Amino acid sequence: MSLDLDEEPTNPHQKLARARILVVEDDPRFRGLVSTRLDRDGYDVYTAATADEALAILRFVHRGWPTDNLELVIIDHHLPGGSGLEVLRQLRAERDGTPALLMTAYPDRNVIDEASKYGASVLLKPFSLDYLCDATKEALLCVR
């Protein structure tokens, strides 16, 4: 029996390990914690510290580099150079189906409503890394 390494896995949990995630967070310590945990869980993680960096990565991804798609974007709401909602609006304009999680320590009904309008779930800070991983799996499995 031969094993085809290029064959697409049929188990949804196997597909999770290949998921490409963009983490947009301005706090370097928290960004490091999140990206390290997601990387440890088997995801390919890209990071950005500002809204401008995130938008630049999304433009590159839209053009097919460094990868032809992202499976999830995790965005902090308060960012230098713009808000997470602005990044989310641009994401929806260019890549409508990519799931997103919006993180915020300042829950505001308008922010939650707008994030929901764009199909993003809101994670209220502080939260545990286990909770983030559960939300990540849920977001990825809902669209796969």
DSSP for the chain reads ----TTSPPSSHHHHHTT-EEEEE-S-HHHHHHHHHHHHHTT-EEEEESSHHHHHHHHHHHHTT-S-S--SEEEEESEETTEEHHHHHHHHHHH-TT--EEEEESS--HHHHHHHHHTT-EEEESS--HHHHHHHHHHHHHHH-
Question: Average pLDDT of 37-50?
Answer: 95
Q: What is the CATH number of the domain that holds 37?
A: 3.40.50.2300
Pairing of strands 78-79, 82-83: antiparallel
Q: Is residue 4 part of a domain?
A: no
Examine residue 7 and state whether it is found in any structural domain, yes or no.
no
CA end-to-end span of the chain: 28
Domain count, the chain: 1
Q: What is the pLDDT of residues 47-73, one digit of tens each?
A: 999 999 999 988 887 666 555 688 999
Residue 139: domain span: 15-143
pLDDT surpassing 50 at residue 144: no
- The amino acid that residue 75 corresponds to is I
The pLDDT of residue 95 is 62
State the pTM of this model: 0.85
